[in-house]
Amino acid sequence: MKTTPPTRPPGAARAAGASLAHFLAFDMLRLSGTETTGWPYRRRGAAS
C-alpha cells in the first residue's frame, strides 16, 4: 500500500505565518497553604 504525505490547502503556509498562536495552561496546586493536588480538577478550577 502506497501512502502520500498530507498536503496543505493553498495559502496555508502564508496564513500560518500571519497568525500567532497562544496557549496558557493553569492548574492550582496550592491555595492559602493547602495542597489542592488531591482535589478534583473542577474544584481546583472553581477555587481560582
Query: pLDDT tens digits for 1-48?
Result: 778 777 877 887 787 777 777 787 778 889 899 999 999 988 888 887
**Which residues form the domain of 46?**
24-48
- pLDDT of 3 reads 82
- Residues β-bridged to residue 30: 35
- Interatomic CA distance for residues 13 and 32, integer angstroms: 46
Q: Residue 48 falls within a domain, yes or no?
A: yes
**Cα dihedral 29, 34, 39, 45 in deg (nearest 10):** -50
* pTM of the shown model: 0.41
Q: Residue 37 falls within a domain, yes or no?
A: yes
- Interatomic CA distance for residues 24 and 16, integer angstroms: 19
Q: Residue 39 falls within a domain, yes or no?
A: yes
- pLDDT of 38 reads 92
